[in-house]
Amino acid sequence: MGDFQAILLLRKQLKELSRHPLDGFSAGLVDDSNVFEWNVTIIGPPDTIYEGGYYNAIMTFPPNYPNSPPTVRFTSEMWHPNVYPDGRVCISILHPPGDDPNGYELASERWTPVHTVETILLSIISMLSSPNDESPANIDAAKEWRDHRDEFRKKVGRIVRKSQETL
């Protein structure tokens, strides 16, 4: 079981989000008895190729949250340079605190305990709006984004339609 502090903090964030839902996503627990696993639905941001899609993901928090970041994994199909083929999201703020061993990221871009479920989800929405192909999680998607943008768009279009059918 996780830290008492982590449990309290996650319950508080859950309450905040249910009281003041935000545009672009919804979040709740996978199972009411476990505050460390959240079900989130992210709505494709307007004016992007992901627009109109509904993408489900599981957010899993570590027992020592907020000292370490959660992991986020899309359970819906996703084609994006910053999402691993298995659905895991790879963005700076979900990387452990401190300096990047590869020297790509500043410590300030990585996880800090001030981040909340809300800031994480907003970062994922902005990742959908502007893919970063510098250090991709999905090499094929990054290549296609760079060299064959039309193909990339088509593939995402299919994913968007598929996500609407499962609503």
pLDDT, position 14: 95
Q: At what angle do helices 139-147 and 149-165 cross, to 10 degrees?
A: 120
Lowest mean pLDDT, pick from 19-28, 68-77, 82-91: 19-28
Q: Tell me the pLDDT tens digit for each residue of 124-148.
A: 999 999 998 888 999 999 999 999 9
pTM of the predicted structure, to 2 decimals? 0.92
Catalytic residue among 9, 83, 90, 125: 90
90 is catalytic: yes
pLDDT, position 101: 76
Structure tokens at 11: 């319950």
Please report, for the domain that includes residue 100, its CATH number.
3.10.110.10
pLDDT, position 108: 77
**pLDDT confidence band for 53 (50 / 70 / 90):** very high
**pLDDT confidence band for 2 (50 / 70 / 90):** low
Domain around 53: 4-165
| Residues whose CB falls within 8 Å of the CB of residue 142, separated by 6 or more in sequence, listed in order | 81, 131, 133, 136
Bridge partners of 42, per DSSP, are 25, 55
Percent of the chain with pLDDT over 90: 81
Q: What is the chain's mean pLDDT, rounded?
A: 93
Q: Tell me the pLDDT tens digit for each residue of 78-91.
A: 999 999 999 999 99
pLDDT, position 67: 94
- When divided into structural domains, the chain yields a total of 1
